[in-house]
Amino acid sequence: MYLFAGLGNPGTQYQSNRHNVGFMAVDVMAAAHGFSPWKKKFQGALSEGAMNGQKVLLLKPQTFMNESGRSVGEAVRFHNIPLQHVFVFYDELDLEPGKVRVKLGGGAAGHNGIRSIAAHITPEFKRVRLGIGHPGDKNMVMPHVLGDFAKSDREWLVAMLDAVADNAPMLIKGDDSQFQSAVHLKVNPSPLRDKKISS
């Protein structure tokens, strides 16, 4: 069994925040792969389905970002899910918008959701970092993260979320680098790819 947890804050006032891109990722995933309707469980919203013949749980903790570990920890312990099968999708300031990176373990880099999960299940889980870009001034970080995506972000954001959802089965297979490449190609299509060669 695998757990894909998307991080964010519950409530309509937060739903379009950059900080909620983890929620957005698992929402698109649930729709793309025909998962079950969301239900309340593990102090979160839970959807169940399968990828690559493996059972997958999608989880959106409803504990607010800083307490994400309470929800994730409960699901992991209840189902005895191996830590290498736990993938957490969340916003990453230090990646350019639309860039995605996967890594195992490491520090929290100032992300309170990741810090909370590490405290509840240890840091040895997979992180899927979804780039939202840095505002360029540390004093602007909080309003940037808790601000809504701009209309100008829509093109790359939709491309990234669709690519993450479409290629999520690669994560089950352990093809992290192939997953990253596939997302990159969708967000940054080659200008030559669709060009017709004239004779």
Catalytic residue among 19, 85, 111, 144: 19
Alpha-carbon radius of gyration of the chain? 17
Instruction: Give residue for tokens 């979804």.
Output: 130
Question: Which value, to the nearest 10 degrees, does the dihedral of the CA atoms of residues 16, 55, 65, 139 take?
Answer: -60
Strands (E), 20-92: 39-41, 44-51, 54-61, 86-92
Whole-structure pTM over 0.85, yes or no?
A: yes
- 50 CB burial (10 A radius; 0-12, 13-18, 19+): middle
Query: How is residue 147 written in tokens?
Result: 């601000």
Q: What is the pLDDT along the chain (199 residues), one digit of tens a residue?
A: 999 999 999 999 999 999 999 999 999 999 999 999 999 999 999 999 999 999 999 999 999 999 999 999 999 999 999 999 999 999 999 999 999 999 998 888 889 999 999 999 999 999 999 999 999 898 999 999 999 999 999 999 999 999 999 999 999 999 999 999 999 999 987 654 444 444 3
Question: Is residue 33 annotated as a catalytic residue, yes or no?
Answer: no
Question: Could you tell me the domains of the chain?
Answer: 2-187 (3.40.50.1470)
